[in-house]
A and B are shown apart, each in its own frame.
Chain A
Amino acid sequence: MSLRSAYPDVPRARELPRVVRLEGNLYAACFDLMKLLPARFIIDEAIREGRLEPGATIVESTSGTFGLGLAMVAALRGYPLVLVSDPVVDVGLRRRLEDLGATVEIVTEPAPVGGIQRARLDRLQQLRERLPRTFLPGQYDNPLNPTAYAAVAELLLECLGSVDYLVGSVGSGGSMCGTSSFLRVASAQLRVVGIDTHASVLFGLPDGPRLLRGLGNSLLPANLDHTAFDEIHWVGAAEAFTATRRLHRAHALYMGPTSGAAWMVARWVAAREPDANVVVLMPDEGHRYQSTVGDDQWLRARGALLPVLPSDPRDATSLADVNGGWERMAWHRRTLAEALRS
């Protein structure tokens, strides 16, 4: 039925993307804040099943948008929230989190073994022991993170009927593995193209410092199902940032750098497969990146503003061959172990 009614609350109103036809066979699913969807779903499911009791404290280790999603939902559902973060959490985000009532604990000292990530997890463990009742949403290993994306598959199937390609960046594995598993219930032909960045361990590269944030990871999340992917692209920071600016100019879509990277890859896929429906997931808006990706000087100082955006990726034949720029490799729905062996 076409009668529209009011949303019951802000997370429900903002958790789903708008599906926009960018050109011919290329559709974008544009989120305000994608992580709001799993945050809201995980908390509401836990309340429904009695795993999150009144008075319990929600604790999570995050310095990103999942924390913001949790803070919004925790504020509305009436739960205290403690987020364990490292010093790189940006000032604007931290203000928003604290405005919403969340406690942000900054861990400054790296652990002797395992660095700052380990120190954050240790602090989280301390909190869980100290507080009487805690609930850990656990975006990296809670299977309800990918499950939340059934709502995105529902929307895409209703809008498009079938999806031939799903393109998007990978961080926790939740959005890409979740959405694709539900799309495949109806679209068996679906091919999944994941986007990672160099010095991320997600698809078998060695860990290292990364300028491009919001995709990639230094740890391997349990929610990443490698066998969902047909093809992997590695996108460097300069390509992603430049693409983000071009996306704004080309479609008035003001999005974050993971969306820029995804758009660059999805355009290429859509041009190569003109008869296929291609959907690209765009995880967040550009406001947070105004003083970085949105600033030419910031970009130039890091050599991250390209005069020309590459039109094609370089084909990498093996993982050892992946070393910078924009590269692509057929993944063939292998496990990570299988990919590392070959």
Chain B
Amino acid sequence: MSSPSSQQQTLPNSQRHEGGKGTAIAHHGEVLQGVFETAHGTLLRAVVSLPYPRVRSCAAFWPSGGDLVEVQPSWKTKARAGCVAALEWFGEARGGLLVVDSDIPVERGLGSSTADVVSAIEAVAQSVKRAISPEDVARLAVRAERASDGIMFGDRAVLYANRSGAVLEDLGGPLPQLEVLGFDIGGDGVNTLAFEPARYLPWEVGAFRALRGLLRRAVALRSAPLLAQVATASARINQRHLPNAALTLVERSSQAVGALGYQVAHSGKVVGLLFDPADPHLDLRAAQARSQLSAAGVQTTWRFRTPQDGPQG
């Protein structure tokens, strides 16, 4: 990896010791996860994440004279790794104090560690008064945590190769807005890296290719129904590889209440029923779904709308 190609003018030392802050949102799993062809004809694992702006990670970084980076709380080692990678990237041979404050539940597939890493990188960037592109944040995030989620692109919907940090395709706009009724299927926490990457069959790679075409249309037309079709199909294809214990329940409930479909955190524990925000019967459907899920033993659900113009809003 090279350092930034356009080195900015170095600022006087006095201004370079100020602290910086960064924020990153969670995601609610994916609308698409699979293996996709690159422009060079090779195949890469990639995802399209569903933004979950209700919860987020906030980081602050204060540079110090020493060369050690201390992180609080101390167990946020991936955030610390992101901070170190960013300092190296900016050519700053220094340490400092990184404080991370996040309300994203951990090990549920909500991207808590990526959000920590991204907010840490952005805090470092602000502290050294330098801009960093989402593509570079993504590369640093992969360096820090090996596999990261695509939440650093703001309102740009991208097909993100989460193990190399590359953008396979910029879909040219934000994802269409969705209303999501989410819940956690319970069970032990998950470590994304512990997942054995799925070994997809050639037909499944073909199915992902077809879904990529539908996703482009969903984004171009801002169509919630088409996006939900993509998410539902992706969840079904991946069920063979990353089985989700609640898939049958979600499928049944989605059909019964007339949801557009559903989505899952492919390497996690959250799932979401998807609704059209413009649906006049939205509240009724969501209430019916809640009581159905409750009857099946799911007591805690949450409802949110994905952002229309940028997840930070």
- The proximity string for B residues 230-243 relative to A, scoring 1 for CB distances below 8 Å and 0 otherwise, is 10010001000000
B interface, size bucket:
20 to 34
Q: A153-B210, A157-B213 are in contact. Are A186 and B230 (CB under 8 A)?
A: yes
Q: Are A143 and B203 in contact (CB under 8 A)?
A: yes
Q: With contacts A144-B202, A154-B213, A186-B214 known, what are 10 further pairs, Cβ within 8 A?
A: A45-B202, A147-B206, A150-B205, A150-B206, A155-B213, A158-B217, A178-B206, A183-B210, A185-B237, A186-B229
List, in ascending order, chain A residues with CB within 8 A of B226's CB. Answer: 161
A167 at the interface (CB under 8 A from B): no
List, in ascending order, chain A residues with CB within 8 A of B237's CB. Answer: 185
List, in ascending order, chain B residues with CB within 8 A of A149's CB. Answer: 206
Smallest CB gap from B41: residue in A = A44
Minimum distance in angstroms from B18 CB to a CB of chain A? 37
Minimum distance in angstroms from B31 CB to a CB of chain A? 13
Q: Are B202 and A185 in contact (CB under 8 A)?
A: no
| The 10 A-B residue pairs with the shortest CB-CB distance in the complex, in nearest-first order | A150-B206, A154-B213, A158-B213, A153-B210, A157-B214, A157-B213, A182-B210, A150-B209, A185-B207, A1-B172
Smallest CB gap from B234: residue in A = A185
- The proximity string for B residues 150-178 relative to A, scoring 1 for CB distances below 8 Å and 0 otherwise, is 00000000000000000001111000000
A181 at the interface (CB under 8 A from B): yes
Q: Are A156 and B213 in contact (CB under 8 A)?
A: yes
A126 at the interface (CB under 8 A from B): no
List, in ascending order, chain A residues with CB within 8 A of B42's CB. Answer: 48
Which of these, A44, A143, A159, A185, contacts B211 with CB under 8 Å?
Answer: A185
Minimum distance in angstroms from A176 CB to a CB of chain B? 15
List, in ascending order, chain B residues with CB within 8 A of A154's CB. Answer: 209-210, 212-213
Q: List 8 A-B contacts (CB under 8 A).
A: A2-B172, A48-B42, A150-B206, A150-B207, A151-B209, A158-B217, A159-B217, A182-B206
List, in ascending order, chain A residues with CB within 8 A of B171's CB. Answer: 1
B216 at the interface (CB under 8 A from A): yes
Minimum distance in angstroms from B227 CB to a CB of chain A? 11
- The A interface is mostly helix, strand or loop, or mixed, namely helix
A114 to B52, CA, bound (A): 64
Q: Are A147 and B202 in contact (CB under 8 A)?
A: yes
List, in ascending order, chain B residues with CB within 8 A of A8's CB. Answer: 41
A61 to B221, CA, bound (A): 46
List, in ascending order, chain B residues with CB within 8 A of A5's CB. Answer: 39
Give the size of the chain A interface in residues (CB under 8 angstroms): 27
A183 to B209, CA, bound (A): 11
Q: A185-B237, A186-B229, A186-B233 are in contact. Are A158 and B206 (CB under 8 A)?
A: no
Smallest CB gap from B212: residue in A = A154
Smallest CB gap from A49: residue in B = B202
Smallest CB gap from A182: residue in B = B210
List, in ascending order, chain B residues with CB within 8 A of A153's CB. Answer: 206, 209-210, 213
List, in ascending order, chain B residues with CB within 8 A of A150's CB. Answer: 205-207, 209-210
A144 to B206, CA, bound (A): 10
- Contacting A at CB under 8 A, from B41-55, are 41-42
A185 to B206, CA, bound (A): 10
- The proximity string for B residues 22-42 relative to A, scoring 1 for CB distances below 8 Å and 0 otherwise, is 000000000000000001011
A306 to B154, CA, bound (A): 62
Which of these, A156, A158, A185, A186, contacts B216 with CB under 8 Å?
Answer: A158
- Contacting A at CB under 8 A, from B82-97, are none
- Contacting B at CB under 8 A, from A227-263, are none
- The proximity string for B residues 168-212 relative to A, scoring 1 for CB distances below 8 Å and 0 otherwise, is 011110000000000000000000000000000011011101111
Smallest CB gap from B203: residue in A = A147
List, in ascending order, chain B residues with CB within 8 A of A48's CB. Answer: 41-42
Q: A147-B203, A150-B207, A161-B226 are in contact. Are A185 and B233 (CB under 8 A)?
A: yes
- Contacting B at CB under 8 A, from A92-124, are none
Minimum distance in angstroms from B124 CB to a CB of chain A? 30
Q: Are B172 and A181 in contact (CB under 8 A)?
A: no
A165 to B164, CA, bound (A): 39
List, in ascending order, chain B residues with CB within 8 A of A156's CB. Answer: 213
Minimum distance in angstroms from A214 CB to a CB of chain B? 24
- The proximity string for B residues 100-131 relative to A, scoring 1 for CB distances below 8 Å and 0 otherwise, is 00000000000000000000000000000000
- The proximity string for A residues 38-59 relative to B, scoring 1 for CB distances below 8 Å and 0 otherwise, is 0000001100100000000000
Q: A1-B172, A45-B202 are in contact. Are A161 and B217 (CB under 8 A)?
A: yes
- The proximity string for A residues 209-221 relative to B, scoring 1 for CB distances below 8 Å and 0 otherwise, is 0000000000000
With a 10 A CB-CB cut-off, give which of A44, A143, A147, A156 has the most chain B CB atoms: A147
- Contacting B at CB under 8 A, from A3-22, are 5, 8
Minimum distance in angstroms from A198 CB to a CB of chain B? 32
A150 to B37, CA, bound (A): 12
With a 10 A CB-CB cut-off, give which of B206, B216, B217 has the most chain A CB atoms: B206
- The proximity string for A residues 146-189 relative to B, scoring 1 for CB distances below 8 Å and 0 otherwise, is 01011101111111010000000000000000100111011000
List, in ascending order, chain A residues with CB within 8 A of B212's CB. Answer: 154
Minimum distance in angstroms from A179 CB to a CB of chain B? 9
List, in ascending order, chain B residues with CB within 8 A of A147's CB. Answer: 202-203, 205-206
Minimum distance in angstroms from A276 CB to a CB of chain B? 17
List, in ascending order, chain A residues with CB within 8 A of B202's CB. Answer: 45, 143-144, 147
Smallest CB gap from B223: residue in A = A161
Which of these, B172, B205, B207, B214, contacts A158 with CB under 8 Å?
Answer: B214
A48 to B217, CA, bound (A): 30
A25 to B232, CA, bound (A): 27
